[in-house]
Amino acid sequence: MKGIIRRSFAPAAWLGWQVESNWASPLLFLAFSVLKPVAGVLILVFMYNTVSRAGTSAPIYGYIYLGNALYVYVGTVMAGTSYSILEDRERYRVLKYLYIAPINIPVYLFGRATPRFLAGSLAAAITIFFGIVFFKVPVHLTLVNWPLFLTALMLGVVCLAGMGIVLGSWTLTLRTQPWFLGESTAAALYLFSGALFPLTLLPRFLQPIGYLMPITYWLELMRRALLGPAAAVFPTLATLSNAQLFLILGVQTAFFLGLAFVAFRFFDRIARDKGLIDALSDF
């Protein structure tokens, strides 16, 4: 285990960090890392302020703000794994060398995703901090349920990593527009996971998609941890207790980890058989 971490995880995490950050000075990198999620959340703040007369104490305000701020993890952890594979395969063209190196590829992928997770955590933290200080998001740090927050965060990130491995493994076998897989999955989940609005606003026939997604339950737990009882005012998941939400999220996480294991073996074999490890999707 120690050998795998030393040989596969640590170098991958270091490499990922260099790829992500060494194009700019640390300060500039930090600024760019924060700019994107803060701008994304500012769009919603201005949309809210333009049409709403309810003020920032309305439950929907905190719901929208935090949903968007936390959604950064979906892009960085889940879609990021798929991007890592494509970057290594097509941009830097080193995936073939990694495959013949004595490393564990899934562990390597976790390592590559780690800097994205850290950058995402920093961005989410700063976005929420901005929200509290400048945009009156009703989060009171002394009233936050920290154990609930940290447990839900960890469980959610593990689940997203599992989903990321599934997507990343699938990416290995794609030659047509593979770059869109992670992005379009993240975009679809943005709509169906209740990140910005309660699922009950969606047409009834689309709501089941949202109820099947672990991100729906993860975001609800995170909001409850940060906002307290005000988070549970929307009818979507109000009938479920925190324990029930954890149970659902836990089962879904176990499912996606199992699926990640199977998917990696399956797609990896296809990619090897068809010679796709060093394929390029240029046209």
Partner 1 sequence: MNAPIAFAAAKTTRPDSGWRLFLRTIVARAYPRVVGQQREKAWLFFETFIPFVAIVSYVYVYRALDAPPDYIGFVVIGGAMTAFWINVMWNMSAQLYWEKDNGNLPLYIIAPNSLMAILLGMALGGMLATTLRAIVIVGLGTLLFHVPFALSSAAELAVIFVLSMAALYGLGMMLASVFLLHGRNAFQIVSALQEPVYFITGFYFPIRSFGFTLAVAVSAIPLTLGLDAMRQLMFASGPTLGLLSVRMEMAILAVLAIVFVYTAKLWLDHMERRAVQEGALTDRRR
Integer Cα distance of 162 and 36 in angstroms: 25
Integer Cα distance of 187 and 146 in angstroms: 29
Query: Cβ of residue 198: shortest distance to partner 1, in angstroms?
Result: 7
Query: Cβ of residue 145: shortest distance to partner 1, in angstroms?
Result: 25
> Which tokens go with 186?
């993240």
Give the number of other Cβ atoms within 10 Å of residue 8's Cβ.
22
- CB contact at 8 A, 82 and 164: yes
Which of 40, 45, 39, 123 has the alpha carbon at shortest distance from 80?
123
DSSP 89: I
Beta carbons within 8 Å of 44's beta carbon, 6+ residues apart: 64, 65, 68, 196
Query: Cβ of residue 130: shortest distance to partner 1, in angstroms?
Result: 13
Query: Cβ of residue 150: shortest distance to partner 1, in angstroms?
Result: 27
Query: Cβ of residue 257: shortest distance to partner 1, in angstroms?
Result: 27
Nearer to partner 1 by Cβ, of 32 and 149: the residue is 32
Nearer to partner 1 by Cβ, of 273 and 282: the residue is 282
Integer Cα distance of 8 and 108 in angstroms: 5
Nearer to partner 1 by Cβ, of 60 and 240: the residue is 60
Nearer to partner 1 by Cβ, of 177 and 244: the residue is 177
CA angle 277, 180, 161 (to 5 degrees): 70
Query: Cβ of residue 21: shortest distance to partner 1, in angstroms?
Result: 9
Binding residues for partner 1, rule: CB under 8 A, are 23-24, 32-33, 35-37, 39-40, 42-44, 46-52, 60, 64, 176-177, 180, 183-184, 187-188, 190-191, 195-198, 201-202, 282-283
First to last CA, the chain: 41
Which residue is listed with tokens 């945009």?
135
Query: Cβ of residue 69: shortest distance to partner 1, in angstroms?
Result: 13
180 vs 27, 177, 184, CA distance in Å? 30, 6, 6
Nearer to partner 1 by Cβ, of 126 and 148: the residue is 126
Nearer to partner 1 by Cβ, of 176 and 239: the residue is 176
Integer Cα distance of 77 and 255 in angstroms: 17
- CB contact at 8 A, 202 and 75: no
